[in-house]
Every structure is written in C-alpha cells, then in structure tokens.
Amino acid sequence: MSQNQLENAMEVLQDAPIVGSSPEAKRLRRAVKKLSKIDSNILIVGETGVGKEFISRHIHLGSGRKNRTFVKINCATVGKTIDEKHLYGEETEGDQSVTRTVGLLEKAHKGVLFLDNLDQLDPEYQEEFLQVLRDKRFRRIGGKENIELDIRVISTAEDDMAPEVEKDNFRRDLFHLLNTLTLRIPSLRERKQDIPELFAYFLKKYCAESEREEPAVQAEIFESILEYDWKGNVRELENTVQNLVVMSPEGELSPEFLPFRIKKHQFDFLEPKNLKGIVSDVEVYLIKKALGKFGGNQVKAAKLLGIPEATLRFKMKKYDIPKD
C-alpha cells in the first residue's frame, strides 16, 4: 500500500465508526481500544460479513504502527494466485546489476501483516509461514542474504480453529504463534438491537453518495429487516441498504427493492381471522391501491385489476369504498 492509499484508508475508517449501542457493540469497541495498545499477534474469529478486516484495520490505525503499511494476504489463495515470488520477492542477476522485486512480506516490514482466512492456509505453506514468522527473517527467491522482518500479524478465521488443531488439520505451533490474543466478533443475529442504527448509518452514507435527501422508512421495511437472520451479517445489511437507495424512486424507500429472501410477505401484515375476512381485506387493499394509482378513475382501476367495471362498482359499494 502506498502512503496515499494508507492515508485514504485511515481517513475512510476514521469516518466509519463501530456502529451500535448494544452490549456486544460496546464490548467490541472496548476490545479494539485495548488491542490497539498491545503489539501482540491477534486471531479474530467471526462469521462471514461481520467485519473482521474492518476491525483489524481499526486496531492497526489505533496502534503504534498506524503510519506503517497494512498488507493483506488471503490465505485461501496462497499457492494459487499468490505464489512464493509474491510472498518473498525475487532477485535476478544480470551482467552488471541485480534486479530486485519486493514481496508482500517485505512490504509489511514495520507494519501489519493481515492473514485473512488463516484456517484455509494450505498445509504445504503452514511450515513456511511458521519458519518465517518465528525466525522473523526470510530470503527473496534467488537472494543470498537474510532480510529481517518486524511485523505484527493479525489473522482471521470464520470458526474456532482449536478443533482443527486437535485433529492435526492445522499446525499447532503456527496456531499458537498467531493466536497470542483472540477476539471474537458477534454475528448480527446476536446484536439485533444494532440493526436500526446500522440501517440508519448506511442509509445516510448511500444517500449522501447519491446526492439525495434521506427518505422516510416504511414500517414494512423495518419489520422485514428486524425479522431476517442476516447470515451475511453487516456486509449483507449494507448491500441491502445500498440497493434500496439506488433502486427506489426519489423521495422514498420502496420495500419492492428488498431482496426476496429478506422481504416480508405482504400478507404477513394481515390480521389472522376467518378466511372470508382475509379475502375482504385483500380486496379492499387492492381496490383502494388501484383507484389511488389512477386518481379514482374506475375504468382504469378495473382494467388494472382485471375485472369488469360493474364488478368494481359492486365491490366498492359492498366495502363502502368512496368514489373519490
């Protein structure tokens, strides 16, 4: 990361607080503050979308290394899209000079190495990582000299890694080296109290980006988002709000643009009673909506509803629906 990129990341995060007033959110803010003051390695555990990288960057930007680089490695891609040249860099000798490329480890020197998805690190590379991080030095590919390494490692995993360590699916020594301190981030289901605050925060953010006024939020939207399980956690909620803001007409947020998996079925808002009563409620609702859409024009309303005008007039009289 260049200095400009680092400054931009710091500015964005300074304007992006850890939102929420639930006990879980308060504990998370306290933990971040404490972990920022300690230079030990940290393992952050939490479901997809809870904000593990977001919290990691907050810890970094509150630490003594905040003016140094934050280098991310997705462990799931090591050995695939990230090879040893990307990790260690390379030296090649020409006739009169040596060409050097700087790898990810060297870029993290004096800063933070962020190992995302540590639990997905291929066993083939676990021993290499252990040796480098324990000895705090490495060599570029083709190089002859050791390069000293001063880094803090922040790792993430989706689940508790201890069971996999016990099954020998992950090296015990590497796990304990990186798991000096542990932070678990609660799922959004565990802090539903924070959903309205997060919704309001993201609504303000994306309305500002779209240069539009913040609209009122229909009760149907709030009921839907509060009842949903949010398996994608904060990331899924943010994406949902962004979609609502971008797709809804100016001046309103329409439940129509909630993802189907989140949207509460419109009939859920009907009061349970006998079947005839429910049918009547649906008919009254749809007739009023059709008339409202066309300013009371019964011809157009009947056509939209797919019924004869005489049937519409009969039902309006039956349900005492005014003509205007």
Those residues whose C-beta lies under 8 Å from the C-beta of residue 134, and which sit 6 or more positions away, are: 173, 177
Structure tokens at 4: 């400009």
Residue labelled with tokens 């593990």: 52
Tell me the CATH number of domain 189-266, given options 2.40.30.20, 1.20.140.10, 3.40.50.11540, 1.10.8.60: 1.10.8.60
- Tell me what pLDDT residue 7 has: 47
Residue ranges of the domains in the chain? 3-186, 189-266, 270-318
- What whole-number distance in Å separates Cα of residue 106 and Cα of residue 168? 30
- Tell me what pLDDT residue 270 has: 56
Dihedral sign computed on CA atoms, order 164, 167, 168, 172: positive
- What whole-number distance in Å separates Cα of residue 284 and Cα of residue 40? 65
Q: List average pLDDT for each run of 10 residues in the chain, which is 324 residues long.
A: 48 71 96 96 97 96 95 96 94 82 95 97 95 95 93 97 94 96 96 95 93 86 90 95 88 82 66 72 86 90 91 91 83
Residue labelled with tokens 């090649």: 92
- Tell me what pLDDT residue 252 has: 80
- Tell me what pLDDT residue 6 has: 45
- Tell me what pLDDT residue 271 has: 60
Which CATH number is associated with domain 270-318? 1.10.10.60
Structure tokens at 209: 């980006």
Structure tokens at 265: 């079925």
Dihedral sign computed on CA atoms, order 217, 219, 224, 229: positive
CATH 3.90.1150.10 is the classification of domain 3-186 = no
Total residue count of the chain as it appears in this document: 324
- What whole-number distance in Å separates Cα of residue 192 and Cα of residue 227? 9
